[in-house]
Chains A and B, each alone.
Chain A
Amino acid sequence: MIVLLLAVALPFLAVPVILALRRQPNPREAASLLASVGTFVLVASLIPSSLAGAPAAGDVVAVAPGLSIGFRADLLGLLFASVASLLWIPTTVYSIGYMRGRKEHAQTRYFACFASVIGATMGVALAANLFTLLVFYEILTISTYPLVAHEGTAEAHRAGRKYLIYTLGGGAAILAGLAISFGSTGDVAFVEGGNPSLATLPPETIQGIGALLLAGFGVKATLFPLQGWLPSAMVAPTPVSGLLHAVAVVKAGVFGILRTVFFFVGPGLTGSLGLQSVLLTLAVATILYGSFLALTQDNLKLRLAYSTISQLSYIVLGAALLSPAGLLGAAFHIAAHGFAKLSMFFVAGSIALETGKTRISELDGIGRRMPGTMVAFAIAAVAMASLPPMAPFVSKWYLSVGAWEAGQWLPVLVLAISSVLNVAYFFPIVVRAFFFGAPGGRGEGTRPVYGPVLATALGALVLGVWTALPFGPFEIARSLARGLFP
């Protein structure tokens, strides 16, 4: 219980420390690093007991009867929390190199907000009920805003405003759903297979609650047509774009959808009340929409953003299939996509740092200048195409099996088309980097920047090959799926 609370609290405790150390950059960064390592260790330590069927749990404070801030380290929560906290470590290292390399302003604010975001993510992941999740979900939104608008330019402010309008709007929808369900049943806890008290409500009410929650979470999950905030948010510094918008913030959205479908409304009601077909349709639409629009973007980070929009709906698709393999694929993809996409964002930032270039049309020959970096990008591109030996191959396999389990053929076709589109918009970058253009000097980027590039790409490879990694995301996803579909 202490470990559980500390896992959520530690990043928040780092915030005042970081603020206090604002005049001493090295100790300040050390605080971030210590907090990131510590958080991951705490989260990881909770995994064995959860796999054994005895998840740590505890309430912190009861705000009202039936409405409490409480945490529970169940399998889905630990999967998300462990991935986010683990990836915070290389992101912190990367941030040091990146922010100092660009001599960025307001670094204290940056690192402090970052820590707060991670803390909020832990809160979302480990929340035992919808109320706790919403509280931390909103903290997540607020903490991210200064990071999105970090540059302080007019464009950054516009992006930040757009981000707030979208995400606070989504939060309002979740609040409405929470209010209706709490008002009707007085019980908003997450329960494996769905909260039973919800089932006592009339079907229209459940549909309303489900629609509000799914729409609310759908904003952060960049579900069509609510994805518009993500491309604009690419104006943020690259490590922000990477971890927050490829790993933490957006994954909080899909995580919320997973919680709603499997732990609140429940798969049975999601299917019988028509929410499944809506979710499936939107997921398929988003997968295709994101990939098509990625083709049109010359700005590298924007292309990555649209790819993220598409890939996130792999997870929503898996959830919407309401089948064991679908859930396994969806949950595993949280990890698989996270590592690979973060690596790509790191590469984008590294290139911008070394050469000042942000447009793909300028990147001819960059592979000869930064070969290691571009090889990492290449293997991450292999991952985006869901090819072995990278981790998303495993996700794609289980999503396909899950589709057939649900009697659906369209997802299989859509996944095939999406794989081809991913090749179509990522591989020309690789190809132009290595085969075209003239080399001009060598420079991979400083070690704090280059190391995380390689580490995250390697992580995606390891996860794809060593599925039997003890306490790894595959084992957690598998136990999760088995537990929910005995």
Chain B
Amino acid sequence: MSVFVPPFLVYLLGAPLLLLLRGRARQVCLVALAAVGAAVTFLLGEGTGWSVRFMEYDLVLLRVDRLSLLMGYIFSLITLLAALYAAAFARPRLHLYALLYAGTNIGAVFAGDFVTLLLFWELMAITSTLLVWELGADAVPAGLRYLLFHVFGGALLAGGIAAHFLEAGNLAVGPVSGGWSSVLIALGAGVNVGFIPLHTWLPDTYPRAHIASSVFLSVYTTKAAVYLFARAQPGVEAIALMGGVMALYGVSFALVQNNMRKLLSYHIVSQVGYMVAGVGLGTAAGVNGGMAHVFNHILYKALLFMAIGAVIHATGRETMDRLGGLGRKMPVTAATFWVAAFAISGVPGFNGYVSKGMVIDAARDLLPLRILLEAAAFGTFLSFLKVGYFVFLRPGEVEGRDPPATMRVAQASTAALCVVIGLVPSLLFGLLPQGNTYDPWDPSHLLDAVLVLAAAAGTFLAVGRTWLLPHEPRVKDADVAYLATGRGTAAAATALLDTSRHVYQAFVATIARIGHASRRSQTGDLNWNLVGLAIALALIVSWLLWEMA
């Protein structure tokens, strides 16, 4: 049995129901909607359809092929798991915004034309901002900064799509080749994907939202952007290299963080760098690797945010410097954390190892990229040893308990998926857009991974417990530049206002002065008036005579 219904309808139409229900009914409705959405997605048959007239175009709301199905599967699956997690909290608006956000992303990846994609892209920005703001307090100014970035990115994307539309003559989602269209689409998607230095909104916002919101936030926006790159601009070497830069930059900043969710956020930048690198390489192996990494990353990153969210929920603390000893007090959380940590670090037997290996392997002909990715892998394991040790392993007095049942089920299920895919990667290979030739169990790949992991482990054991002792980082990210720009803009605006006022007043004063000066010519003296009259007459007569001649 197959269906052909756009899954986004389930989320966007169903989400408002959540506001009408209370308590247990709402929890059930949340999970049920996510389940229905996943069911519809998994039952989709390939094809194109659901055409709607908007502006002057026939939009295509549903385009189902291998690539969009891959995205749809993982998005709808993680929505279900994240919904289970979020159901533990009695926050109706959080649930509403989360489902709306999920729906807009699913709409974007199944879009058959660029205008539909653009519409969902901008709605993604609005719904995710609402999700961030839902918590109130610190999340509010962060959400405003987030919105500024995403509106700018969306506007650049719109400009690029408009340019492409004129060049290509149609709106179908596909490769983009023109000059301006490529640059603008890359920049617009680059904001969402976290190109350095357009990434600062990510570590600024994700740690400040509600812990359940962070789970949702971590999985969609950046991956939808990777999908856009895979459709519109695969195989651009500059983008692949940017992916490498993102990988190393992200992990470097992550390593020095004290705030756990900020550390995870920087890792998003880093891991998305792998995906961007894979897609940027453009080869079948590269795109497969990048998309496989999208799938796996969504699973283990959501799990990381779930586990760390459980720690924050239990202890009330966001930073590692005052944590410790939770391994025994929160066994389920600890176990699922370690599964995710091994997955993100690329430990063989977990899903991350497979896709990370695919990307690094695809990069073997581009040495600078390869170096960046391997170095980032080293830093990744190192930073998760840091988190694992200082939160769970080292002795500590902070109290903590495992979270409520739905959250534990969500964590455990996600962890199970990470392990299953890690052990039976052919399950994932069957979903990839291109035929797969990568063998994760090839000894060279195993050796590669083990070496990096051993190096990181050795480093941590030797010096990590002292050098990486959690404390407030002294390094500042590019935020500094943006804040300065903001302040500069405000100052420039005030200066502009003052200048305008002065110019206007000077202009008015000059006119007034001319008026005053010309008053003096009104002497009231008949003789002077006659003289003036005579001069004027003489001038007019001479001009007339000259004209007639």
Contact = CB atoms under 8 A, between A and B. Distances in A.
Interface string A383-410: 0011111000110111011011100010
B152 interface: yes
Candidate in A387, A415, A428 with the most chain B CB atoms within 10 angstroms: A387
A1 interface: no
Secondary structure of the B contact surface, majority rule: helix
B423 interface: no
Interface string B120-140: 001101100000010011001
B543 interface: no
Contacts of A409: 180
Contacts of B162: 397, 400-401, 403-404, 412
Contacts of B492: 292
B480 interface: no
A387 B125 contact: yes
Contacts of A435: 133, 136-137, 140
A37 to B, nearest CB: 30
Interface stretch (B51-59, B214-222, B261-269): B51-59
B4 interface: no
Contacts of B166: 401, 404-405
Contacts of B29: none
A474 interface: yes
Contact of A404 (B119, B154, B180, B489): B180
Interface stretch (B30-38, B143-151, B295-303, B428-436): B143-151
Given A292-B492, A388-B122, A435-B133, A424 B159 contact: no
Contacts of B54: 467-468
B493 A293 contact: yes
B122 A393 contact: yes
B42 interface: no
A431 B144 contact: yes
A292 B493 contact: yes
B504 A228 contact: yes
A376 to B, nearest CB: 16
A16 to B, nearest CB: 39
Contacts of B53: 467-468
Interface in B491-534: 492-494, 496-497, 500, 504
28 contacts: A228-B500, A292-B493, A293-B496, A296-B496, A388-B119, A389-B119, A394-B55, A396-B155, A397-B55, A397-B162, A400-B159, A401-B165, A404-B162, A404-B163, A412-B162, A412-B163, A412-B184, A416-B159, A417-B152, A423-B144, A424-B148, A427-B144, A427-B147, A431-B133, A431-B143, A435-B136, A435-B140, A478-B56
A415 B155 contact: yes
B19 to A, nearest CB: 14
A400 B156 CA distance: 10
A419 interface: yes
B483 interface: no
A182 B537 CA distance: 30
Interface of A: 228, 289, 292-293, 295-296, 382, 385-389, 393-394, 396-398, 400-401, 403-405, 409, 412-413, 415-417, 419-420, 423-424, 427-428, 431, 435-436, 467-468, 474, 478
Nearest to B498: A296
Given A295-B493, A388-B122, A474-B55, A416 B500 contact: no
A401 B158 CA distance: 9
B126 A416 contact: no
Given A387-B126, A420-B148, A296 B56 contact: no
Please give me the 5 A-B residue pairs with the lowest Cβ-Cβ distance, nearest first: A416-B155, A412-B159, A400-B162, A292-B493, A295-B493
A295 to B, nearest CB: 4
B497 A385 contact: no
Candidate in B53, B122, B155, B184 with the most chain A CB atoms within 10 angstroms: B155
Given A293-B496, A419-B151, 9 more contacts: A293-B497, A296-B490, A389-B123, A396-B155, A403-B159, A412-B159, A420-B148, A420-B155, A467-B55
B254 to A, nearest CB: 28
Interface string B171-193: 00000000010001000000000
A401 B438 CA distance: 43
B125 A413 contact: no
A292 B497 CA distance: 9
A386 B123 CA distance: 12
A385 B151 contact: yes
Contacts of B122: 387-388, 393
Given A296-B497, A387-B125, A431-B133, A397 B158 contact: yes
Candidate in A393, A404, A467 with the most chain B CB atoms within 10 angstroms: A404
Given A387-B122, A387-B126, A394-B55, A416 B152 contact: yes
A364 to B, nearest CB: 12
Contacts of B147: 423, 427
A295 B123 CA distance: 25
B155 A386 contact: yes
B179 to A, nearest CB: 10
Contacts of B180: 404, 409
A289 B163 CA distance: 26
A125 to B, nearest CB: 24
Contacts of B133: 431, 435
Interface string B225-258: 0000000000000000000000000000000000
A419 B56 contact: no
A435 B133 CA distance: 9
A296 B155 contact: no
Contact of A419 (B155, B490, B494): B155
A397 B122 CA distance: 13
Nearest to A418: B155
Nearest to A478: B56
A405 B169 CA distance: 12
Nearest to B53: A468
Candidate in B162, B163, B165 with the most chain A CB atoms within 10 angstroms: B162
Candidate in A296, A427, A478 with the most chain B CB atoms within 10 angstroms: A296
B152 A419 contact: yes
B144 A415 contact: no
Given A387-B126, A388-B122, A420-B152, A396 B158 contact: yes
Interface string B287-328: 000000000000000000000000000000000000000000
A389 B158 CA distance: 14
Interface in B317-344: none
Contacts of B56: 478
Contacts of A427: 144, 147
Contacts of A423: 144, 147-148, 151
A405 B166 CA distance: 7
Given A388-B122, A388-B123, A423-B151, A400 B158 contact: yes
Given A292-B496, A293-B496, A467-B55, A420 B140 contact: no
A385 B115 CA distance: 17
Contacts of A401: 162, 165-166
A413 B187 CA distance: 12
B192 to A, nearest CB: 15
A105 B153 CA distance: 49
Contacts of A412: 159, 162-163, 184
A204 B180 CA distance: 36
A293 B237 CA distance: 42
